[in-house]
């Protein structure tokens, strides 16, 4: 513990109570908590008399942490975030330096990102809480003037860095929870798919053929309707008792009906032809797989109706 450290701490009964009760200190070196607890039993006069000759100033704290920060930086750049965090945390507790504690929490946050670990993210949140306690007291001027590890104008910046660790770590935890939920849902869906088993051979061909047949039969229906309308219009045109403008209207209806019949018949030819071919291939493929019952669809046309019939063995 640095000279004068005890003196600056014992002037802060409120800080002592708060920091000693912090769960983060469970892993701190005994020198930190022992010094705090011992100071509670001294009178204020004894505390003042025990001050050392050296104060902790922004300059002395910066000089003390310089080599430690450099070591932590080199470890982090090498990807060894865990070792960097442990170094910065241990020295931050030893020197009672909130800057080093914040940097330790940042290293744990970076390690959590690299390893996709919710546990490490929570560690960063827990450890930076101690630094925030210290920084809030520095900001509010509730600490001894002999303990000033950070210049007053830089305290707010350090608080921002510490709070950013909490925000980032919480966001990472939420992201990881969402990833785990998505992975669980995907695994469940895959398991259900395996239970249903793979589709039978030829299923795609049969389905495509059936769809094409439906389109073809719809076209056939349109063609039949067009032919019927055309025949009706033709009879009106040839009727000698039909005069203008009814004669011209009937002729126009006939032309429209003939066009509709042509489109429908063409669509029927393509749809039924393609559908029949796909159905035949699908049924053949399924029979070759010897999967038992099979069926095929065939077009059924009748007076005023059209549809699909099913033929097969069951």
Query: 27 and 175 in one domain?
Result: yes
**Is 61 in contact with 97 (CB distance < 8 Å)?**
yes
Cα 279 to Cα 88, 109, 113, 196, 200, distances in angstroms: 72, 60, 54, 24, 14
- Tell me, what's the pLDDT at 16? 36
pLDDT of amino acid 177? 93
- Same structural domain, 91 and 232: no
Exposure b/e, 270-282, CB count within 10 A at least 16 = b: ebbebbbebbeeb
Nearest to 85 by CA among 63, 115, 106: 106
| Residue 149 shares a structural domain with residue 209 | no
Residue 190 lies in a domain: no
Residues 209 and 299 in one domain: yes
The pLDDT of residue 31 is: 41
Q: Is the peptide bond before 178 cis (omega within 30 degrees of 0)?
A: no
Q: What was the pLDDT predicted at 268?
A: 75
Q: Which positions ≥6 away from 271 have C-beta within 8 Å?
A: 212, 213, 214, 215, 216, 217, 218, 219
DSSP run (H or E) holding 73: helix 58-77
Together in a domain, 254 and 170: no
For the chain (314 residues), the mean pLDDT of every run of 10, in chain order, is 36 36 40 38 35 75 94 95 96 95 96 95 96 92 77 93 96 93 85 64 73 77 78 74 69 75 78 77 70 58 60 56
Q: CA 75, CA 77: separation in Å to the nearest integer? A: 6
Could you tell me if 137 and 22 lie in one domain?
A: yes
Task: Please indicate, yes or no, if residue 16 is contained in any of the structural domains.
Answer: yes
Q: Do 156 and 207 fall within a single domain?
A: no
Spatial distance between the Cα atoms of 9 and 17, rounded to a whole number of angstroms: 11
* Claim to verify: residue 155 and residue 269 sit in the same structural domain: no
Containing domain of residue 264, as a range?
203-313
Total domains present in the chain: 2
* Residue 96, Ramachandran bin (φ over 0: left; ψ between -120 and 50: alpha; else beta): left
187, part of any domain: no
Q: What is the pLDDT of residue 290?
A: 57
| Same domain flag for 43 and 160 | yes
Whether the CB-CB separation of 132 and 92 falls below 8 Å is answered with no
**Assigned domain for 197 exists:** no
Q: Can you give the pLDDT at residue 170?
A: 96
Assess whether 211 and 300 both reside in one domain. Answer: yes
**Any domain includes 188:** no
């Amino acid at each position: 513990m640095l000279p004068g450290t005890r003196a600056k701490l014992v002037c802060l009964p409120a800080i002592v109570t708060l920091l000693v009760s912090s769960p983060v200190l469970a892993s701190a070196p005994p020198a930190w908590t022992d010094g705090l607890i011992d100071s509670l039993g001294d009178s204020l006069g004894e505390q003042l008399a025990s001050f050392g000759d050296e104060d902790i100033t922004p300059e002395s704290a910066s000089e003390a942490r310089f080599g430690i920060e450099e070591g932590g930086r080199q470890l982090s750049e090498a990807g060894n975030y865990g070792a960097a965090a442990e170094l910065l945390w241990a020295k931050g507790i030893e020197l009672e330096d909130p800057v080093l504690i914040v940097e330790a929490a940042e290293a744990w946050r970076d390690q959590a990102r690299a390893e996709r670990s919710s546990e490490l993210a929570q560690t960063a949140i827990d450890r930076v809480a101690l630094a925030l306690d210290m920084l809030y007291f520095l900001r509010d001027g509730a600490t001894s003037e002999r303990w000033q590890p950070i210049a007053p104008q830089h305290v707010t910046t350090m608080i921002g860095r510490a709070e950013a660790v909490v925000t980032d770590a919480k966001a990472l935890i939420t992201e990881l929870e969402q990833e785990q939920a998505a992975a669980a849902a995907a695994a469940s869906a895959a398991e259900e798919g395996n239970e249903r088993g793979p589709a039978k051979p030829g299923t795609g061909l049969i389905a495509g053929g059936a769809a094409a047949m439906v389109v073809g039969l719809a076209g056939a229906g349109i063609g039949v309707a067009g032919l019927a309308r055309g025949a009706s219009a033709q009879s009106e045109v040839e009727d000698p008792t039909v005069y203008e403008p009814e004669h011209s209207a009937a002729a126009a209806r006939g032309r429209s009906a003939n066009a509709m019949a042509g489109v429908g018949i063409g669509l029927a030819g393509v749809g039924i032809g393609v559908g029949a071919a796909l159905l035949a291939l699908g049924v053949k493929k399924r029979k070759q797989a010897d999967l038992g019952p099979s069926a095929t669809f065939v077009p059924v046309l009748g007076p005023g109706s059209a549809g699909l019939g099913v033929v097969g063995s069951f």
